[in-house]
Amino acid sequence: MSQEDLLVFFYLASELLQLWIHIYQEIERFSVECPFESNTTLLHVASRYCLSSVVSAILNLDDVEADLKDAGDRTPLSWAAGHGHETIVKLLIERDDVETDSKDEFERTPLYFAAESGHDTVVKLLIERDDVEINLKNSYDSQTSLSQAAVGGHETIVKLLIERDDIETDSKDGYGQTSLSWAAKYKHETIVKLLIERDDVEINSKDYNGRTSLSLAAERGHETIVKLLIERDDVEINSKDYNGRTSLSLAAEYEHETIVKMLIERDDVDMNSKDRNARTPLSLAAERGHETIVKMLIERDDVEINSEDCNGWTPLYWAMLNEQKAVVKLLQLAREV
C-alpha cells in the first residue's frame, strides 16, 4: 500500500486508525516513543513514522488541524522533531497554525526532543526561528535542551545552542547539575572543552550533593576530563561534597591511580583533607586495599600516616580490619621510618 493510499483508508476511519495504533503499541510495548491510543490522529502517526507523502496530503486538506495534541500533549511536530524527520518538520513549521514551541505534558518542546535524541539538523531548523525559547525547562527535572544534549554527548547540538546570545549555559536542573557537570560525569570531552572556554560557565558549581564537575569526573575515573579541569586557574581543587569528600578522596577511594597522581602533583591539594567521618584519602584507600595509591600517598612528606577518624581508627587499623595484608605491610614500614 502506498503512503497516499493510507490517507484514503485511515484519515476519516478513526476506528481503523485506533486499531493500527493499538497494534503498534503491542509491537513497541516497551517503548515510550510509540503514539498514544487516545486523541491520536493520522497526522501524529505519519509524523512519527516519517510518512512524508501522507503528511503532505493531510496538510493540503482544507479542514486540517495541524497542531492537535494527543493524550500526552504531543503534536505532530513534536513527534517528527523527536525522531529527526527533517522533511516533515519543515512542512509543519512553515504553517502559521503550528506552534513551534508547543509543550507536552512534561513541558517538553520539539526542540527539547530533537536535542535529546541528537538530531542536529532539526535543532538548527528550530533555533533559526524567532518563536522558539531555547532555555525552557521540562517540568519533572528542570532540564533544558542544552543539558539534554550535554547528557547525550551531542557535540554539534551543544555547539549550535551555545552560539546563541540568549543561551543560559549554566542553568541548573532539578539535581543542581549544569550542562558542564553532566558532560564531565559522562566523559564527553569535547563538550567539556566547549563549555569551559566560555566566561559564563561556573566551573566550581555544585549540585545538590555538593559535587562539582571535577569531583564527578574524579569519582568515575575520567582522566582526560580531570586534566582539562585542573589546568584551569580557577578550579577549587579541595572543594568538598556534602559528605566532606574532595576529588582526591573520591579518586583514592575508587582506585583511580592516574587521577590521584595528577591531583597530588599540585601544590594546592590538601593531602589530609577529612570527610564528615574524619577520614582522609589515605584511610579510604587503605580500607579498600589500593596498594599503589597508598604507596603514592605515604611517599609524601606531608601525609599524616597516623591520622585518626571520628572513631579513633587510623589507616593501618582500617587495613588490618579488612585484611589488606599488602597495605598493612606498607603502613607498618612507613611508621618505622
Spatial contact of 131 and 100, defined as CB atoms under 8 Å apart:
yes
Mean pLDDT throughout 53-74?
88
Q: What gap in Å lies between CA 4 and CA 8, rounded to an integer?
A: 7
31 versus 113: which is more confidently predicted? 113
At 26 the pLDDT is: 59
Count other C-beta atoms under 10 Å from residue 265's C-beta: 9
The region that residue 176 occupies, defined by phi over 0 for left and psi between -120 and 50 for alpha, beta otherwise, is left
At 12 the pLDDT is: 46
Q: What Rg value do the Cα atoms of the chain yield, rounded?
A: 27
At 62 the pLDDT is: 82
On the question of pLDDT at 18 being above 90, the answer is: no
Which domains are seen in the chain, by residue range?
A: 1-133 (1.25.40.20), 202-270 (1.25.40.20), 273-337 (1.25.40.20)
Distances (CA, A) of 67 to 7, 64, 323: 18, 9, 66
Q: Phi and psi dihedrals of 55, rounded to 5?
A: -60, -45
Cell 497526522, located at residue: 43
At 23 the pLDDT is: 60
Task: State whether residue 21 is helix, strand or coil.
Answer: helix
Q: What is the pLDDT of residues 190-246, one digit of tens each?
A: 999 999 999 999 999 999 999 999 999 999 999 999 999 999 999 999 999 999 999
Handedness of CA 46, 47, 51, 57 (dihedral sign): positive
Q: Which residues contact 222 (CB under 8 A, 6 or more apart)?
A: 184, 187
At 331 the pLDDT is: 96
